[in-house]
Amino acid sequence: MRLCFFSAAALFLLCFLLPAAVAEERFYEFVVQETLVKRLCNTQKIITVNGQFPGPTIEVYDGDTVAIRAVNMARYNVTLHWHGLRQLRNGWADGPEFVTQCPIRPGGSYTYRFAIQGQEGTLWWHAHSSWLRATVHGALLIRPRPGVPYPFPKPHSEFPIILAEWWRRDPIAVLRQSMITGAPPNVSDAILINGQPGDFLECSAQVPDLVKPTKATFGLEKSIPTVVYSIGRRDERCIVLFRCLQRDKMKRQRFSRLLTMHAVAVTETSIIPVAAGETTLLRIINAAMNTELFVSLAGHKMTVVAADSMYTKPFETTVVLLGPGQTTDVLVTAHAAPGRYYLAARAYASAQGVPFDNTTATAIFQYKGGAGCPTTAGGAGAAGAVAGAGVGAGAAGGAGAVAGAGAGTFNGSLGRSKYSGGNPGRAGPAPMLPYLPAYNDTNTATAFSNSIRSPAPVKVPGPVTQEVFTTVGFGLFNCMPGPFCQGPNNTRFGASMNNVSFQLPNTVSLLQAHYHHIPGVFTDDFPPMPPVFFDFTSQNVPRALWQPVKGTKLYRVRYGAVVQIVFQDTGIFAAEEHPMHIHGYHFYVLATGFGNYDPVRDAHKFNLVDPPSRNTIGVPVGGWAVVRFVADNPGVWLVHCHIDAHLTGGLGMALLVEDGEAELEATMAPPLDLPLCAL
């Protein structure tokens, strides 16, 4: 009896200790550095993390603690943001430059430490300093606690899909030109999927003359890919195996030189390997700087199961819409005829008459064993290794070289992402193209967004104790005609919320100024209502209302308050859908609509049963959105449009959430290695 009693007690105690026992501290080292890559026939230097583009995938479990040491070896200041993480009481790890920290200067370092608490699903990380996030970004995947299943049938495989934009120039130079001239920044030159533009851009649809694949098998032989290349002029033909390259320094140098000069065309389309009958979880992330994107997959339907790391009521769709900053998880069952199918992405451009990137990015959803398809999952990795062999071939391709080595592991600071892939040649039939909506198809965009619901009824917080009604949109600053006034009609482009164009400090962060009571850095008088009420969505707004006022104004929120924010788009310059992101919080989206918000007329539209929980909401073009949350996370939290051209113009503000009365309701003390601010 005593033995049985002891065993039962031990088992009972183990049930309580097990969750704490499996939680781990996971350490990564992120080295921010210049990397030579080749895209669109052009070799250029970009800023990356650990030489990878996209950057390393972070994989953790709910309940883990994470430490990421960021070392800045680049020539620009940098900070890192963990998009969608609550960072409870820990704004010091949130990352937006001069909001929660001063930047990590060249040669410096900072360790971001945070806990994963009650979150799971697909998030992402990115630079939050200038326009570095164009190339400094990656996936952040949070698994359920061990033993906790997904709320849907477990997929056979998972694959992050990271959408981004590519400029032929340094994105920082694009931004600086815009800031000097006052004109909107130049649009990107291509859309990317997992770092690659796909089959319809220069140097991707065809193989260059001087570097032609003559044979391709997919596998590893003593860790050396058996991809054979023909290198040379018409009168000189040399078949080079990589083992030969290892022995012959001259041939190896020549191969690398040709690879850099002429682009390895076979690496410019990402591959998603699948098996017939199996279900894949695609974790789609829009890391694009300025473009909302439609995504579609030929020959297959997608079942949406999560958005912004919050599970949703499942629904089938052929098209997914994501604004910059948003994530969407979809299940895809490989039930079509074995073959190759395009996954494609292109812009949803809601603003009339405004330039946008009209390219189409593609990846290939590729069945194992299909006609013309590799018979092993190692195909993408093998092709990736080819890219890695050439100087400047691109980190995304080189990642494949060690993909198999890292499969199934969660820790490791410098390991290549096992999700990066390359295109294993153009063997086999051409992939099937999907249907994509027109670039201005607002009806499809609205129908998709309105389909997202919480999986079960939720308790919506209320009653509302603090409410903000804020306009979001563009503005133009008057100035004297000249080289610094190249916006419309000799103006400078701007943006604002409630007519305040947000200006960041440059000597100390807002959170530091709040925590240490440093005066003169900001004011807490952000207006909770527009200074003037007018027909916000009219296409003929009087020019007297076009010029905002610059300021660093925060909105003070009491701890525990139920906050409701109405985001109202305006027709100043051009109405446009704005993906609004609130740092430090998830919120319920109660309603969206078109035209001017009316609190009486539109109250019946509120979904108080199963509204979706998001961290980034697309405010409809010429419309409004209402969100609600409990202010239970003290600190200073940025609220901004996640289109970076708009944030640069001033479309942002910050919430100053006061401490509560209890010790665990107050902002943590700053870490000792917080980057120093310039005096």
Residue-wise DSSP of 25-38: EEEEEEEEEEEEEE
In the predicted model, is pLDDT for residue 396 greater than 50?
A: no
Q: Which of 338-342, 448-452, 539-543 is least confident?
A: 539-543
Instruction: For residue 671, give the nearest of 164, 263, 104, 170 by alpha carbon.
Output: 104
Mean pLDDT of 138-160: 97
What pLDDT, on a 0 to 100 scale, did the predictor assign at position 568?
A: 98
Q: How far apart are CA 256 and CA 613, in angstroms?
A: 49
Q: Which helix (H) or strand (E) holds 306?
A: strand 302-307
What pLDDT, on a 0 to 100 scale, did the predictor assign at position 203?
A: 76
Q: What angle do CA 157, 159, 162 make, to 5 degrees?
A: 170
In the predicted model, is pLDDT for residue 500 greater than 90?
A: yes
**Pairing state of beta strands 562-569 and 623-630?**
antiparallel
Same fold, 26-147 and 453-665: yes
Q: Which of 220-229, 265-274, 339-348, 607-616 is least confident?
A: 220-229
What pLDDT, on a 0 to 100 scale, did the predictor assign at position 679?
A: 56
In the predicted model, is pLDDT for residue 16 greater than 60?
A: no
Q: What is the assigned CATH class of domain 453-665?
A: mainly beta
Q: Which of 61-65, 140-144, 410-414, 601-605 is least confident?
A: 410-414
In the sheet where 554-557 sits, what is the strand order?
554-557, 652-657, 635-641, 578-582, 616-619
Question: Hey, what CATH topology would domain 26-147 get?
Answer: Immunoglobulin-like (2.60.40)
Phi, psi at 19, each rounded to 5°: -60, -40
Residues 6+ apart with CB under 8 A from 28: 56, 58, 66, 67, 68, 69, 411, 412, 413
What pLDDT, on a 0 to 100 scale, did the predictor assign at position 217?
A: 27
What pLDDT, on a 0 to 100 scale, did the predictor assign at position 378?
A: 33
pLDDT confidence bin for 249, thresholds 50/70/90:
low
Q: How far apart are CA 183 and CA 354, in angstroms?
A: 12
Prediction pTM value: 0.84
Q: How far apart are CA 592 and CA 589, in angstroms?
A: 8
Share of the chain above pLDDT 90, in %: 75
In the predicted model, is pLDDT for residue 14 greater than 60?
A: no
What pLDDT, on a 0 to 100 scale, did the predictor assign at position 90?
A: 98
Mean pLDDT of 63-90: 98
What pLDDT, on a 0 to 100 scale, did the predictor assign at position 250?
A: 54
Q: How far apart are CA 648 and CA 616, in angstroms?
A: 18
pLDDT confidence bin for 89, thresholds 50/70/90:
very high
What pLDDT, on a 0 to 100 scale, did the predictor assign at position 381?
A: 31
> Domain spans of the chain?
26-147, 453-665
Contact call for residues 389 and 242 (beta carbons, < 8 A): yes
Q: Which of 250-254, 450-454, 649-653 is least confident?
A: 250-254
Q: Is 93 helix (H, G, I), strand (E, B) or coil?
A: helix
What pLDDT, on a 0 to 100 scale, did the predictor assign at position 205?
A: 44
What pLDDT, on a 0 to 100 scale, did the predictor assign at position 265?
A: 35
Mean pLDDT of 617-632: 98
Mean pLDDT of 251-275: 58
What pLDDT, on a 0 to 100 scale, did the predictor assign at position 22?
A: 61
Burial call 597-630: b when 16+ CB within 10 Å, e when fewer: beeeebeeeebeeebbbbbbbbbbbbbbbbbbbb
pLDDT confidence bin for 428, thresholds 50/70/90:
low
Contact call for residues 123 and 310 (beta carbons, < 8 A): no
Instruction: For residue 657, give the nearest of 520, 562, 534, 536 by alpha carbon.
Output: 562
3-state helix, strand, coil in the chain (%, to 5): 15, 35, 45
Q: How far apart are CA 625 and CA 578, in angstroms?
A: 10
Q: Which of 149-153, 376-380, 411-415, 425-429 is least confident?
A: 411-415
Cα-based distances in Å from 538 to 119, 325, 592, 596: 41, 28, 18, 9
Mean pLDDT of 561-569: 98
What pLDDT, on a 0 to 100 scale, did the predictor assign at position 462?
A: 97
Q: Which of 59-73, 188-202, 248-262, 608-622 is least confident?
A: 248-262
pLDDT confidence bin for 461, thresholds 50/70/90:
very high
Q: How far apart are CA 585 and CA 565, in angstroms?
A: 13
pLDDT digits (tens, 9 = 90+) for 515-549: 999 999 999 999 999 999 999 999 899 989 999 99
